[in-house]
Amino acid sequence: MNLAAPFVHAPFSLDIGPLQLTGFGLAVLAAFGLSQIVTMRELTRRGHDLYAQTTPDIVFAALLGFLIGAKLYYVVLTGDPGAIFSRGGFVFWGGFMGSVALCWLTIKRKKLSFARYADVAGIAIAGGYAVGRTGCFAVGDDYGRPWNGPLAFTFPNGAPPSTAANMQDLFGIPLAPGTPPNQVIAVHPTQLYETAMGFVMFLILWRFRDHEHAEGWLFGLYCVLAGIERFIVEFFRAKDDQLTFGLTTAQVIAIAIALVGVIVMVARRTPRPGAPGIHATAAAA
């Protein structure tokens, strides 16, 4: 099988004097910036001006929670406490859970409604996710399994490089006998798949932003879509964390997140006292 790729990836970074900004760092900043804009504008449109004004504090908590959660999850996953000090090693599911936890604490401390923020956050997270995954592509991280299709990429300077040795030693992916260890292997650009699917999630959630359910319902829909997206892309990712029935750890978490989403959608399907609709009223503004 010919594994030569038509596209060769080169990492992206921006040097400003002694400071180097990686493509991942820039994408994360852009993702959270976009999320803040979407959240503030949607809350304002719905008539919740106080919540819109408080959004920067919530987004900062989301960013901090994401960085802490993503790194701690990676440390637990690898079993390497020293990885806490590495520049890379951020896992989305860990970041997602860290973000939700710290946002919940911040919102409760401000005596505001978590469901109100969460309903809008479903849209914002999907858009931010689509942007953020471009950062993974920019640094050559989280690529896929060997592939020789028309959109295949090689990552000679990836994190780590997509060499035969790394495919076998780090990801447990068998290759043809006699493949040179230093041969750079063509793979699925799964980061781009995730970017595309994240944008589709954003469009779906945007389409339902004027839903007639109780606040929080749209976050449930986001969880369902995010679980489906991650479950699918894991079949193409270069991973070695296989569990029972051939599922990865991320796929098991994806199923759990999707089920939580279904529960939220059912629980918030009808507005009622204590669970208002999404638009402000004189009593709920």
Asked if residue 167 has pLDDT above 80, the reply is yes
Asked if residue 282 has pLDDT above 80, the reply is no
* Cα distance between residue 20 and residue 74, in whole Å: 23
Q: How much is the average pLDDT of 128-150? A: 93
pLDDT confidence of residue 114: 94
CA-based max dimension of the chain: 73
Comparing 166-170, 225-229, 234-238, 277-281, the range with the smallest average pLDDT is 277-281
89's tokens: 């090693």
Asked if residue 30 has pLDDT above 50, the reply is yes
Asked if residue 48 has pLDDT above 80, the reply is yes
pLDDT confidence of residue 156: 95
Mean residue pLDDT of the chain comes to: 89
Mode of pairing for the β-strands spanning 186-187 and 19-22: unpaired
Q: How much is the average pLDDT of 40-50? A: 95
Q: How much is the average pLDDT of 5-16? A: 82
Comparing 180-194, 232-246, 263-277, the range with the smallest average pLDDT is 232-246
**CA dist list (Å): 270 to 31, 49, 68:** 31, 24, 35
pLDDT confidence of residue 83: 59
Which of 3, 27, 33 lies closest to 13, judged by CA? 27
pLDDT confidence of residue 86: 62
Question: How many residues make up the chain in this entry?
Answer: 285
Question: In sequence order, what are the residues at sequence separation of 6 or more whose Cβ sits closer than 8 angstroms to the Cβ of residue 111?
Answer: none
Asked if residue 76 has pLDDT above 90, the reply is no
Assign 215 to helix, strand or coil: coil
Residue holding tokens 């858009």? Answer: 127
pLDDT confidence of residue 116: 95
The burial of 283, by beta-carbon neighbours within 10 Å (0-12 exposed, 13-18 middle, 19 or more buried), is given as exposed
pLDDT confidence of residue 85: 59
pLDDT confidence of residue 5: 46
Q: How much is the average pLDDT of 153-177? A: 92
Q: How much is the average pLDDT of 217-235? A: 96
Please write the tens of the pLDDT for every residue from 116-128: 999 999 999 999 9
Please write the tens of the pLDDT for every residue from 95-110: 889 999 999 999 999 9
pLDDT confidence of residue 1: 44
Q: How much is the average pLDDT of 226-245? A: 88
Instruction: Decide: pTM greater than 0.85.
Output: yes
